[in-house]
Structure 1
Amino acid sequence: MLNLIPTTRQTLLRGGRAFSTTATVRDLARMQVLGRLAADPELKTTRNGKDFVRYTVATSDPPSGPAEDGERAPTTTSYHRFYAFGDRGVDRMKNIKKGYRVLVDAEFRIERTPGEEGQAGRDTLLALHRGIQVISKPKEAGEA
C-alpha cells in the first residue's frame, strides 16, 4: 500500500500543496453586477498619464416584504462604481452608453482611509473591471 502520509507532511512543511499539479493562485475577491449604466462612462487619466474609464451601474433592490402599514415597500436603487484600466477595457467602454443593461465582472477590495483625530476611518469599496457583457440596449424613442 502506498504510504502518502510522510510525503504529505513534507509537502505541508515546505508550504506546498499536496496532490496538486497546478500553480497556487492568490486570494481573489470577485463580484458580478447585473444592472443598467447610470450615465455614460467617463474617460479619465491617471497622474502617470494612463487612461482609464469610470462608470456606474445601477441595480434595483426589490423590497423584502410589506412596509409596516401593510403597503408594498418601495424599490430601492443601489449604485456601483467601477474602474476599467488598460487599452482593452478603455476601448470596450467607448461603445457602451447610458441605459445599456450590462453584466459586469469585477475584482474588488476595501481600502481604508484613516479618520481625523477622534473620527472614525472610512472604508471605500474599489471595484476593478475585469469584463463587461452587454445584455440589452435601451429602446430608442418611438420603439414599442
Structure 2
Amino acid sequence: MFSLRTQMPRVASLRAFSTSAPRPLAKMQIIGRLADTPELTPTSTGRELIKYTLGVSTGAKDENGNRGVSWFKVASFQPEGAQRDLLLSLPKGTQLFVEAEARMDTYEAQDGSKRSSLNLIQRSFETLSRPRNPGETTEGSA
C-alpha cells in the first residue's frame, strides 16, 4: 500500500498564524444578573470607573426552590457615550452577557494573611433582558 506521507513534500518551516508576538490572555464570559445599579466612581488618577456585580446561578435547586449564586465584581473604563450611559442606567436584575479580562491579584490583608482576588475588567457587554418588575427581585433568583 502506498502512503500519502511519502508523496507529500516535507516543509522545512510552517507558516506562522500571526506575525505579532504572543500575549498572555485570560478572558471570561459571564451571563448573570446585576446585583444593583452600576455606580460611577473616580479613581486616584482622575479617570472614572464603573463598578457593578453580577450574580450567576449555580447548581440544582434546593428544597425551597432556590439555587446557589456566585458573585462576580466587574470594573469598566467605558468612555463617555451611549454605551456608558446605557450601562449606568440599567436597573438591578438586568441580565447581561459580559466579556472581561481576568486577573488574579495577591495581597496582604490587615491581619497579615495572604489573600487573592479575581479582578475582572469589562471589554464588552450586551443586555439580554431587563427585570419584569424592576423594584422586585427575589433572593437567589440571580
TM-score normalised to structure 1 length: 0.72
Counterpart secondary structure, 2:21: coil
Q: Which has the higher contact order (CA 8 A, sep 6+)?
A: 2
Matches within 5 A, 1:119-134: 119-134=112-127
What are the ranges of 5 or more consecutive residues in structure 1 without an aligned counterpart?
9-17
What are the ranges of 5 or more consecutive residues in structure 2 without an aligned counterpart?
1-8, 135-142
Partner of 2:97: 103
Partner of 1:35: 32
CA deviation after TM superposition for structure 1 residue 62, in Å: 1.8
Counterpart secondary structure, 2:116: strand
Size of the aligned set, in residue pairs, is: 123
Q: 1:19 to 1:72 in 2, by over 3 A?
A: farther
Q: Residue 137 of structure 1 aligns to which amino acid in structure 2?
A: R
Q: Residue 22 of structure 2 aligns to which amino acid in structure 1?
A: V
- 2:43 aligns with one of 43, 46, 53: 46
Work out whether residues 50 and 78 of structure 2, in 8 Å CA contact, stay in contact via their aligned partners in 1.
no
Matches within 5 A, 1:1-144: 4=12, 8=13, 18-20=14-16, 22=18, 23-63=20-60, 75-87=67-79, 90-115=84-109, 119-140=112-133
CA deviation after TM superposition for structure 1 residue 125, in Å: 0.6
CA deviation after TM superposition for structure 1 residue 98, in Å: 1.2
CA deviation after TM superposition for structure 1 residue 2, in Å: 5.5
Work out whether residues 37 and 89 of structure 2, in 8 Å CA contact, stay in contact via their aligned partners in 1.
no
Tell me how far apart the structure 2 counterparts of residues 56 and 30 of structure 1 sit (CA, whole Å). 17
User: Stretches of 4+ moved more than 6 A in 1?
Assistant: none
